[in-house]
Copies of this chain bind each other. A is one copy, B any other.
Amino acid sequence: MPKATFFNLKEEKRQILIDAAKQEFSRVSLYEASISNILKTAGIPRGSFYQYFDDKEDAFFYLLNEHAQERHECLISNLKKFDGNLFKAISEIFKSTLEHSEDKGQRDFIRNVLLNMNYKIENTFSQYLSEDVANERYDDIYDLVNAEQLNVANRKEMFHVMQILTAVTFHNLIHSVSNNLSISDAMKKYETELGLLQSGLLRSSS
């Protein structure tokens, strides 16, 4: 988490910093990014950066978290829109992420995040899927999902469904970006796999 000093900053200056950081993390991955570049772009002295953040990870995860929150709200609203149909809601998120990653500005940041996704980054995105039953954000989702249509008996099994969907969705996002698939090719692949997930990988014994 950024330090208090960062949040005490004047709106304008904070935005300059955020923009500079985002620009650097759009250029290269977290690991290749250099604080020096952020300083140069933002026009602040070295020491100041360390007043606001612990290190570049701190700045990166601050930005990422903002994104993740947007995604989470998007999922909630999609669930409402599609009457709790989890597959439709998640497929819509998938699509909008790909479209987002066509926007100039957002594009390269999201690309870099996806191409360097690891468990820590993924957790930032999907913290609300915690197994921890006390987790509020998970409750939000659980309550909205129409569990009737799912092959689950209780909240615990629902957790596994979310895990599977998360895994397959991220896997497809990353695959799409790393192979430069067109949005329509990416959607075709993803929806094929969602279809398989729904009906099951085993042939129904006939």
Chain A interfacial residues counted at CB < 8 A: 40
Are A198 and B201 in contact, with the CB atoms below 8 A? yes
List A residues 96-125 near B (Cβ within 8 Å): 114-120
- Chain A binding site: helix, strand, loop or mixed by DSSP? helix
Chain-B contact segment, one of A46-54, A69-77, A157-165: A157-165
A151 partner residues in chain B, CB cutoff 8 A:
196, 199-204
Given contacts A160-B189, A167-B170, A171-B171, 11 further A-B contacts (CB under 8 A): A114-B119, A118-B118, A119-B178, A150-B201, A150-B203, A151-B202, A157-B192, A163-B168, A163-B175, A167-B171, A197-B201
- A-to-B contact residues, CB < 8 Å: 31, 114-120, 148-152, 157, 160-161, 163-168, 170-172, 174-175, 178, 189, 192-193, 196-204
